[in-house]
Amino acid sequence: MFSTTINEEIRELQEQVDHLSAKIGDPSFCEKVRAFVGAPAEVQQLFKRDAEQEGIDLLAVILRSPDAPALGRPQMLRVIRAHRAYAAYKRQREALDDSDDDDGPEVDQEDAWLFVDLGLLMRLYSRMQEKERMIALIFEVRSLVSLLLFAQSWAPCAPAGPWADASSPHTDGRARRPSS
């Protein structure tokens, strides 16, 4: 029952990912973000360290990486514009006295919205991955519990010494002698 609820949550997250991916409009950007979220922790740390050392947003490092899918020149130019617009938006957001006054980038700043949407996509992919890990863990625990219950229920039926395997209706009728 618990796994059914988690599967439903995964389905809802996938619907949100599909909707957001359509809004972003570039499958290559979405795939790069998905690949980053699915990468081992060591690889993610390398990307984060690069972003920190260069003082740029993590999404810019992810999108400019040479990993597949490779981005074309127009896509790279869009990433550069989006990164600049998003950096300007972040400076504007930091200057606000009250964070409740933040409504996101201006409506006409489509480039800044690209990074906002990709950041949201990264969080959705991360949540999906966490839920999928929970499902895997549930099935692993369920399998172990089933195995333990099976072993415990059959343990009393196990042979109790060399004489336990003497002839029975299930053998060929020849009694076996214990070896000495």
How does pLDDT run across 43-92, given as a tens digit for each residue? 999 999 999 999 888 999 999 888 878 888 998 998 898 888 888 888 88
Say which amino acid occupies 79: V
**Long-range contact set of residues 102-109: C-beta below 8 Å, sequence gap at least 24:** 109/85
Of 1, 76, 69, nearest to 31 by C-alpha is 69
Q: What is the pLDDT of residue 137?
A: 82
| DSSP label at residue 71 | P
Q: Which two tokens stand for residue 131?
A: 């839920």
**Residue partners of 125: CB distance under 8 A and separation at least 6:** 17, 33, 34, 37, 38
pLDDT at residue 133, rounded to an integer: 85
- The single residue listed with the structure tokens 């072993």 is 151
**Model pLDDT, residue 4:** 79
pLDDT given for residue 103 in this prediction: 65
| Mean pLDDT, residues 136-155 taken together | 69
Number of helices (H), then strands (E), belonging to the chain: the values are 6, 0
User: C-alpha dihedral over 72, 77, 79, 85, to 10 degrees?
Assistant: -170
Q: Which of 129, 130, 125, 136 is nearest to 3 (CA)?
A: 136
Q: On the CB side of 12, how many CA atoms lie within 13 Å of its CA?
A: 8
123 falls in which pLDDT band (50, 70, 90)? very high
At 52 the pLDDT is 92
Who's near 138: CB < 8 A, 6+ residues apart?
Answer: 2, 3, 6
Query: Are the C-beta atoms of 111 and 85 separated by less than 8 Å?
Result: yes
For residue 69, cis peptide bond before it (omega within 30 degrees of 0): yes
Tell me the pTM: 0.68
Average pLDDT, the chain: 79
